[in-house]
Amino acid sequence: MKTRAEVIIIGGGIIGCAVAYYLAKQGQKDVIVLEGSDHIGNGGSSRNGGGVRQSGRDVRELPLVMYGIKHLWPTLSEELEVDCEYHQDGNLRLGKTEKHREILTRLADNARGVGLDVRMIDGDEVRQINPYLSDEVICASWCPTDGHANPLTTTLGYYKMARRMGVRFISGEEVTQLRVMRGKIRQVITKNNVYEGDSVLVAAGLDSREILTSVGIDIPMTNSLLECLVTEAQPHMFDQMLGTAEADFYGHQTKHGSFVFGGSSGLERYNKDNGMVSNSSKTAPCICRGIMKYFPDLAGAKIVRTWAGWMDASADGVPALGKVDEIPGLYVACAFNGHGFGIAPAVGEQLAKLILTGKTDISLYDLRYDRYKAKI
């Protein structure tokens, strides 16, 4: 089996698959992607709620996601020859109290500061956009260029196309450590093999921390659980992406007709999960109660499936992206904090460019891996 390549990517999630695809598209096809689990896209890439949104994001990651929504998402289905189910019909971030209004107003003001079209609207205007919302909703932030897509087909679409162009994907290859040789990154050691590359990208979600520790790099992040549920197919109701000021739940109606909603119980840090990513019996009922307050009409919709996923939560809520200065050839893309899906095409394209040319169109300076400082 071939174990040498120009670029080794650790992590076969949407980030790893997208970087591989854009590398191949830009001419670099000598790439190996190592996925630790048995399945491509098995972490957050397949477990998220499908948001392709800008509103509600930290201003440090907004330029990247805005770039992706403008230049990459509109043609992605065509490019990947798969239905990404991308909808750009806006995002309502809903509020029910004055405190919610304050939170949403602050987020909207910050986002407008970097050029995003997002504004506050009152309850009546919210119900003009989405007539199914209950009278409890008194305000929302409205970002008309936000939307949603299907994380499963998008992730696997990147994989399919990268593989078709000659990228080598190997699943079940759990990376245990990296090795520096002659002052540069060189080896990627798995439980079964040793791989060699000139450039190595670590995009392994939570596991990135342990992998990077082997070469003395530490990115402060921890796991945080989120759960999702999906209903049976319903008649078409609305196309917007929805969230709430307090993040009680978020979600959308899919092309298939089902509603996908994500949320939490608030007890996640104390769940008894035996180290596995698993649902808590308390969470889905809690999400249902949250949804029914906003959408009374959905009380009769049947839940067919629930699942859970870990987010890689960093100390300041935004990802660590770019090249590692101390170790030439080493790159990181992790700590997406549960909102890595919508930003993934932009990250993939820009990181591929960084690896090939040393430059990016969008500055990654605010997201550098060594930005974490103590509070005093």
Partner 1 sequence: MNTVNDRTRDIGPFIPQEDDDMLICRCEEITKGEIRQAVHDGMWTLTEIRRYLRTGMGLCQGQTCSKLVKSIVARELGVSPAELEPATSRVPMRPIEMRVFANETKEEAYED
Residues that bind partner 1 (CB under 8 A): 1, 36-42, 46, 152-153, 155-156, 159-160, 163-164, 168-174, 191-193, 231-232, 256, 279, 281-282, 284-285, 288-289, 291-292, 298-307
Q: Which is nearer to partner 1, 11 or 90 (CB)?
A: 11
Report the C-alpha gap between 3 and 10 in whole angstroms. 13
H/E run at residue 200:
strand 194-202
The type of residue at 284 is A
Report, in Å, the least distance between residue 207 CB and partner 1.
13
Indicate the residue among 85 and 349 with the shorter CB distance to partner 1.
85
Nearer to partner 1, 171 or 224 (CB): 171
- Residue 181 DSSP symbol: E
CB of 190 to partner 1, least distance (A): 8
Complex with partner 1: residue 17 or 324, whichever CB lies closer:
17
Which residue is listed with tokens 């089902």?
258
For residue 58, the SS3 value is coil
Residue 234 burial by Cβ neighbours in a 10 Å radius (0-12, 13-18, 19+): middle
Paired strand residues for 95: 139
Least Cβ distance, residue 162 to partner 1 (angstroms): 9
Least Å from the CB of residue 88 to partner 1: 23
**Judged by CB, which is closer to partner 1: 31, or 321?**
31
Tell me the closest approach of the beta carbon of residue 39 to partner 1, in angstroms: 5
Q: Closest CB to partner 1 among 280 and 337? A: 280
Comparison of 129 and 170: residue with beta carbon closer to partner 1: 170
Q: Smallest distance from the beta carbon of 321 to partner 1, in angstroms?
A: 26
The DSSP call for residue 130 is -
Output the CA–CA distances (angstroms, integers) from residue 217 to 249, 309, 312, in the order listed.
Answer: 35, 25, 16
Beta bridge partners of 326: none
Q: Is the dihedral of CA 79, 80, 81, 86 positive or negative?
A: negative
Residues 158 and 23: beta-carbon distance below 8 Å:
no
- What amino acid is encoded at 327 in this protein? I
Residue 40 Cβ, how far from partner 1 at the closest point, in Å?
6
